[in-house]
Structure 1
Amino acid sequence: MKKDIQNRTDIVRLVNAFYEKIKTDNVIGFLFNEVAQINWETHLPKMYDFWENVLFFTGNFDGNPMQKHKELHSKCPLSHAHFEHWNIVFRQTVDELFEGEKAEEIKMRAKNISDVIMYKTIN
Protein backbone atom coordinates (compact mmCIF):
# COMPACT_ATOMS: atom_id res chain seq x y z
CA MET A 1 0.00 0.00 0.00
CA LYS A 2 1.27 3.45 -0.93
CA LYS A 3 1.24 6.25 1.58
CA ASP A 4 -0.42 9.63 1.16
CA ILE A 5 1.43 12.90 0.59
CA GLN A 6 2.23 14.11 4.09
CA ASN A 7 4.95 16.77 3.98
CA ARG A 8 7.59 18.64 1.99
CA THR A 9 9.73 15.52 1.65
CA ASP A 10 6.86 13.86 -0.22
CA ILE A 11 6.37 16.97 -2.36
CA VAL A 12 10.07 16.92 -3.29
CA ARG A 13 9.82 13.24 -4.21
CA LEU A 14 6.76 13.90 -6.40
CA VAL A 15 8.17 16.98 -8.11
CA ASN A 16 11.51 15.31 -8.82
CA ALA A 17 9.85 12.20 -10.27
CA PHE A 18 7.50 14.29 -12.39
CA TYR A 19 10.18 16.51 -13.87
CA GLU A 20 12.50 13.57 -14.56
CA LYS A 21 9.74 12.39 -16.90
CA ILE A 22 9.12 15.85 -18.35
CA LYS A 23 12.80 16.43 -19.14
CA THR A 24 12.69 13.62 -21.71
CA ASP A 25 9.01 13.78 -22.66
CA ASN A 26 8.38 13.60 -26.42
CA VAL A 27 5.32 15.87 -26.29
CA ILE A 28 6.22 18.74 -23.96
CA GLY A 29 9.84 18.23 -22.93
CA PHE A 30 11.01 20.65 -25.60
CA LEU A 31 8.98 23.45 -23.99
CA PHE A 32 11.03 23.13 -20.82
CA ASN A 33 14.39 22.29 -22.35
CA GLU A 34 14.62 24.27 -25.58
CA VAL A 35 11.95 26.97 -25.43
CA ALA A 36 12.02 28.02 -21.77
CA GLN A 37 15.56 26.73 -21.26
CA ILE A 38 14.74 25.86 -17.67
CA ASN A 39 17.55 25.99 -15.16
CA TRP A 40 16.56 22.92 -13.17
CA GLU A 41 18.65 23.87 -10.13
CA THR A 42 16.56 27.01 -9.62
CA HIS A 43 13.27 25.73 -11.06
CA LEU A 44 12.85 22.64 -8.89
CA PRO A 45 13.05 24.43 -5.50
CA LYS A 46 10.42 26.90 -6.77
CA MET A 47 8.20 23.96 -7.69
CA TYR A 48 8.70 22.39 -4.26
CA ASP A 49 7.55 25.67 -2.69
CA PHE A 50 4.66 26.03 -5.14
CA TRP A 51 3.21 22.56 -4.60
CA GLU A 52 3.85 22.60 -0.87
CA ASN A 53 1.89 25.86 -0.70
CA VAL A 54 -0.89 24.46 -2.91
CA LEU A 55 -1.35 21.39 -0.73
CA PHE A 56 -0.41 22.60 2.75
CA PHE A 57 -0.95 26.39 2.53
CA THR A 58 2.57 27.19 3.74
CA GLY A 59 2.73 30.63 2.15
CA ASN A 60 6.31 29.96 1.08
CA PHE A 61 5.85 30.41 -2.67
CA ASP A 62 6.83 33.66 -4.31
CA GLY A 63 6.29 33.74 -8.04
CA ASN A 64 3.90 34.42 -10.89
CA PRO A 65 3.06 31.19 -12.76
CA MET A 66 0.59 33.00 -15.01
CA GLN A 67 3.22 35.43 -16.27
CA LYS A 68 5.74 32.63 -16.82
CA HIS A 69 3.25 30.70 -18.95
CA LYS A 70 2.32 33.80 -20.94
CA GLU A 71 6.01 34.42 -21.63
CA LEU A 72 6.43 30.82 -22.74
CA HIS A 73 3.34 31.08 -24.96
CA SER A 74 4.80 34.18 -26.63
CA LYS A 75 7.92 32.17 -27.54
CA CYS A 76 6.08 29.03 -28.67
CA PRO A 77 2.28 28.80 -28.85
CA LEU A 78 0.92 26.47 -26.21
CA SER A 79 -2.10 24.30 -26.97
CA HIS A 80 -4.86 22.50 -25.12
CA ALA A 81 -3.00 19.28 -25.96
CA HIS A 82 0.13 20.53 -24.17
CA PHE A 83 -1.83 21.24 -21.00
CA GLU A 84 -3.73 17.97 -21.18
CA HIS A 85 -0.51 16.02 -21.61
CA TRP A 86 1.04 17.82 -18.64
CA ASN A 87 -1.98 16.78 -16.57
CA ILE A 88 -1.78 13.16 -17.69
CA VAL A 89 1.89 12.89 -16.74
CA PHE A 90 1.28 14.65 -13.43
CA ARG A 91 -1.64 12.38 -12.50
CA GLN A 92 0.31 9.28 -13.48
CA THR A 93 3.26 10.34 -11.37
CA VAL A 94 1.08 11.00 -8.33
CA ASP A 95 -0.64 7.63 -8.78
CA GLU A 96 2.69 5.80 -9.08
CA LEU A 97 3.97 7.21 -5.81
CA PHE A 98 1.04 8.01 -3.52
CA GLU A 99 -2.56 7.30 -2.65
CA GLY A 100 -4.95 8.95 -0.28
CA GLU A 101 -6.77 12.19 0.38
CA LYS A 102 -3.84 14.55 -0.29
CA ALA A 103 -2.85 12.60 -3.41
CA GLU A 104 -6.36 13.08 -4.78
CA GLU A 105 -6.37 16.71 -3.71
CA ILE A 106 -3.10 17.55 -5.48
CA LYS A 107 -4.37 15.97 -8.71
CA MET A 108 -7.59 17.97 -8.50
CA ARG A 109 -5.77 21.21 -7.68
CA ALA A 110 -3.23 20.62 -10.46
CA LYS A 111 -6.04 20.19 -12.98
CA ASN A 112 -7.83 23.31 -11.75
CA ILE A 113 -4.66 25.42 -11.83
CA SER A 114 -3.79 24.08 -15.26
CA ASP A 115 -7.27 24.90 -16.56
CA VAL A 116 -7.04 28.50 -15.33
CA ILE A 117 -3.54 29.01 -16.72
CA MET A 118 -4.55 27.44 -20.03
CA TYR A 119 -7.68 29.57 -20.33
CA LYS A 120 -5.88 32.82 -19.47
CA THR A 121 -2.86 32.01 -21.63
CA ILE A 122 -4.21 30.61 -24.89
CA ASN A 123 -7.79 31.87 -25.10
Structure 2
Amino acid sequence: MKQLETRDDVEFLVNKFYEKVGADKTIGFFFNDVAKVNWDLHLPKMYGFWESLLFGSASYKGNPMRAHFPINEMQAMEKHHFEQWLKLWIKTLEEHFEGEMAEAAKTKASNIANLMAHKMKMARR
Protein backbone atom coordinates (compact mmCIF):
# COMPACT_ATOMS: atom_id res chain seq x y z
CA MET A 1 0.00 0.00 0.00
CA LYS A 2 1.18 3.49 -0.67
CA GLN A 3 0.36 7.04 0.26
CA LEU A 4 -1.89 9.14 -1.97
CA GLU A 5 0.55 11.94 -2.79
CA THR A 6 0.72 13.00 -6.43
CA ARG A 7 -1.28 13.81 -9.54
CA ASP A 8 -0.19 10.41 -10.90
CA ASP A 9 -1.70 8.75 -7.81
CA VAL A 10 -4.95 10.65 -8.37
CA GLU A 11 -5.06 9.59 -12.02
CA PHE A 12 -4.46 5.97 -11.05
CA LEU A 13 -7.17 6.12 -8.37
CA VAL A 14 -9.71 7.79 -10.63
CA ASN A 15 -9.05 5.33 -13.46
CA LYS A 16 -9.44 2.31 -11.16
CA PHE A 17 -12.58 3.81 -9.61
CA TYR A 18 -14.29 4.49 -12.93
CA GLU A 19 -13.47 0.98 -14.13
CA LYS A 20 -15.62 -0.20 -11.21
CA VAL A 21 -18.28 2.43 -11.82
CA GLY A 22 -18.68 1.61 -15.50
CA ALA A 23 -19.24 -2.06 -14.72
CA ASP A 24 -21.46 -1.52 -11.68
CA LYS A 25 -25.06 -2.76 -11.89
CA THR A 26 -26.40 -0.04 -9.60
CA ILE A 27 -24.84 3.10 -11.08
CA GLY A 28 -23.02 2.14 -14.27
CA PHE A 29 -26.07 2.85 -16.41
CA PHE A 30 -25.97 6.54 -15.45
CA PHE A 31 -22.57 6.83 -17.07
CA ASN A 32 -23.00 4.37 -19.94
CA ASP A 33 -26.63 4.82 -20.96
CA VAL A 34 -28.08 8.03 -19.51
CA ALA A 35 -25.18 10.49 -19.71
CA LYS A 36 -23.30 8.51 -22.36
CA VAL A 37 -20.05 9.74 -20.82
CA ASN A 38 -17.14 10.45 -23.12
CA TRP A 39 -14.41 9.01 -20.89
CA ASP A 40 -11.64 10.82 -22.79
CA LEU A 41 -13.19 14.11 -21.65
CA HIS A 42 -14.61 13.05 -18.30
CA LEU A 43 -11.55 11.41 -16.77
CA PRO A 44 -9.22 14.43 -17.11
CA LYS A 45 -11.93 16.58 -15.45
CA MET A 46 -12.07 14.11 -12.58
CA TYR A 47 -8.27 14.10 -12.26
CA GLY A 48 -8.39 17.87 -11.88
CA PHE A 49 -11.36 17.76 -9.53
CA TRP A 50 -9.75 15.32 -7.10
CA GLU A 51 -6.31 16.90 -7.39
CA SER A 52 -7.86 20.27 -6.51
CA LEU A 53 -9.90 18.82 -3.66
CA LEU A 54 -7.07 16.82 -2.12
CA PHE A 55 -4.01 18.92 -2.80
CA GLY A 56 -5.43 22.42 -3.14
CA SER A 57 -4.29 22.86 -6.72
CA ALA A 58 -6.43 24.97 -9.03
CA SER A 59 -6.53 22.36 -11.78
CA TYR A 60 -10.32 21.93 -11.82
CA LYS A 61 -12.61 24.43 -13.45
CA GLY A 62 -16.29 23.63 -13.38
CA ASN A 63 -19.42 23.14 -11.35
CA PRO A 64 -19.97 19.46 -10.53
CA MET A 65 -23.42 20.07 -9.12
CA ARG A 66 -24.63 21.82 -12.27
CA ALA A 67 -23.33 18.97 -14.42
CA HIS A 68 -25.52 16.45 -12.59
CA PHE A 69 -28.88 18.24 -12.72
CA PRO A 70 -29.63 17.39 -16.38
CA ILE A 71 -28.85 13.72 -15.71
CA ASN A 72 -31.11 13.79 -12.66
CA GLU A 73 -33.91 15.14 -14.89
CA MET A 74 -33.51 12.22 -17.30
CA GLN A 75 -33.17 9.58 -14.58
CA ALA A 76 -33.59 10.20 -10.87
CA MET A 77 -30.31 10.02 -8.99
CA GLU A 78 -31.29 8.74 -5.57
CA LYS A 79 -29.59 8.31 -2.21
CA HIS A 80 -28.79 4.64 -2.81
CA HIS A 81 -27.00 5.55 -6.05
CA PHE A 82 -24.72 7.95 -4.19
CA GLU A 83 -24.19 5.38 -1.44
CA GLN A 84 -23.03 2.90 -4.09
CA TRP A 85 -20.76 5.54 -5.64
CA LEU A 86 -19.21 6.13 -2.21
CA LYS A 87 -18.85 2.41 -1.53
CA LEU A 88 -16.95 1.95 -4.81
CA TRP A 89 -14.74 4.98 -4.09
CA ILE A 90 -13.81 3.72 -0.63
CA LYS A 91 -13.21 0.19 -1.91
CA THR A 92 -10.90 1.52 -4.63
CA LEU A 93 -9.02 3.69 -2.16
CA GLU A 94 -8.58 0.85 0.32
CA GLU A 95 -7.30 -1.49 -2.38
CA HIS A 96 -4.47 0.86 -3.35
CA PHE A 97 -3.79 3.59 -0.80
CA GLU A 98 -3.41 4.26 2.89
CA GLY A 99 -2.61 7.20 5.09
CA GLU A 100 -3.86 10.66 5.87
CA MET A 101 -4.67 11.74 2.31
CA ALA A 102 -6.51 8.49 1.58
CA GLU A 103 -8.62 9.09 4.68
CA ALA A 104 -9.24 12.67 3.57
CA ALA A 105 -10.37 11.37 0.18
CA LYS A 106 -12.91 9.12 1.92
CA THR A 107 -14.23 11.97 4.05
CA LYS A 108 -14.49 14.36 1.12
CA ALA A 109 -16.26 11.74 -1.00
CA SER A 110 -18.71 11.04 1.81
CA ASN A 111 -19.52 14.74 2.06
CA ILE A 112 -19.95 14.96 -1.71
CA ALA A 113 -22.23 11.91 -1.82
CA ASN A 114 -24.45 13.28 0.94
CA LEU A 115 -24.67 16.74 -0.57
CA MET A 116 -25.32 15.43 -4.08
CA ALA A 117 -28.04 13.06 -2.87
CA HIS A 118 -29.74 15.92 -1.03
CA LYS A 119 -29.48 18.38 -3.95
CA MET A 120 -30.73 15.86 -6.50
CA LYS A 121 -33.69 14.98 -4.27
CA MET A 122 -34.57 18.66 -3.81
CA ALA A 123 -34.35 19.24 -7.57
CA ARG A 124 -36.96 16.53 -8.19
CA ARG A 125 -39.59 18.15 -5.96
Q: How many residues of Structure 1 are paired with residues of Structure 2 in the alignment? A: 122
Alpha carbons 2:82, 2:116 under 8 Å: kept: no
Q: In the alignment, which residue of structure 2 is the partner of 1:112?
A: 111
**TM-score, length of structure 2 as denominator length:** 0.95
Inter-partner Cα distance in structure 2 for 1:22 and 1:112: 19
Superposed structure 1 runs of 4+ greater than 6 Å apart: none
> How many Å apart are 1:51 and its aligned residue?
0.2
Alpha carbons 2:2, 2:98 under 8 Å: kept: yes
Q: In the alignment, which residue of structure 2 is the partner of 1:78?
A: 77
**Counterpart secondary structure, 1:52:** helix
Inter-partner Cα distance in structure 2 for 1:113 and 1:78: 14
**Counterpart secondary structure, 1:60:** coil
> How many Å apart are 1:96 and its aligned residue?
0.2
Structure 2 unpaired stretches of 5+ = none
Inter-partner Cα distance in structure 1 for 2:78 and 2:117: 8
Q: In the alignment, which residue of structure 2 is the partner of 1:91?
A: 90
Q: Percent identity?
A: 43
> How many Å apart are 1:3 and its aligned residue?
1.1
Q: Which amino acid aligns with 2:52?
A: N
**Given the alignment of the two structures, is residue 52 of structure 1 paired with residue 47 of structure 2, yes or no?**
no
Q: Which amino acid aligns with 2:7?
A: R
Inter-partner Cα distance in structure 2 for 1:34 and 1:97: 29
> How many Å apart are 1:63 and its aligned residue?
1.0
Where does 1:5-16 land on structure 2 (aligned, <5 Å)? 5-16=4-15
Where does 1:19-30 land on structure 2 (aligned, <5 Å)? 19-30=18-29
Tell me how large the CA RMSD over aligned residues is.
Answer: 0.7
Structure 1 unpaired stretches of 5+ = none
**Counterpart secondary structure, 1:62:** coil
Inter-partner Cα distance in structure 1 for 2:112 and 2:94: 18
